[in-house]
Amino acid sequence: MVKQEIVVLRYGHRLVRDYRVTSHCCLVSRAFGARKIVIAGDEDEGIRKSVEDIAKRWGGSFKVEFTGNWRKSLAEFAKKGFFSVHLTMYGLPLQKEAKMLRSKKRVLLVIGSRKVEKEVYELSDANIAITGQPHSEIAALAVVMDWLQQGKELGKHFSKAKIRVVPQQRGKKTSKA
């Protein structure tokens, strides 16, 4: 199996108000093995800095980018061969589409915030539901990445980490890497 390249496109971000939820999206993207996240919304140096600081410390080469134009971003990723997957409770069930999704070499996962324009549904290559229930784009993102990589991402090695967890039954232990 060729390793699939995953990038996340976050639709919508408002300064201050969305800070925590977008931060979670960024950290989940990194922890579950995406190469970068592109945020379509307010440019937010605070988020970029805090996430990239974590990435520096915990390893890997995750990047945070901003765009003022999600349509243009989507078109550019399409040109580069990315298959775009909009995560929405209204889409087709993940459990039925997982095999098809795993066959794509490059995947762009599109996650919304509150209101997503109709065009996102139309321009994405697929609309996929992680349960048909209202919940959380953060949860949807993690679960789809886990299904795409079939759990292998849970043990992912992050290169050039300055610190690593040493798993413990109780308590916290880290080592300098």
Beta-carbon contacts of 46 under 8 Å, excluding residues fewer than 6 positions away, are: 19
* Positions 32 through 51 that interact with its own copies (CB under 8 A): 32
Q: Which residue of 49, 71, 173, 177 would you call a contact of its own copies, by CB under 8 A? A: 173
Positive/negative CA dihedral, 103, 151, 91, 112: negative
Whose Cβ is closer to its own copies: residue 68's or residue 160's? Answer: 160
In angstroms, give the least distance from the CB of 5 to its own copies: 19
Residue where the block lists tokens 């349960």 = 131
Instruction: Establish if 89 lies at the interface with its own copies (CB under 8 A).
Output: yes
Query: 91-150: which residues touch its own copies (CB under 8 A)?
Result: 91-95, 118, 121-122, 126-127, 129-136, 138-143, 146-147
**What is the C-alpha to C-alpha distance for residues 119 and 113, in angstroms, rounded to an integer?**
15
Interacting span for its own copies (CB under 8 A) from 5-13, 26-34, 36-44, 65-73: 26-34
Interacting residues with its own copies (CB under 8 A): 20-21, 24, 27-28, 30-32, 54, 58, 88-95, 118, 121-122, 126-127, 129-136, 138-143, 146-147, 151, 153-156, 158, 164-165, 167-174
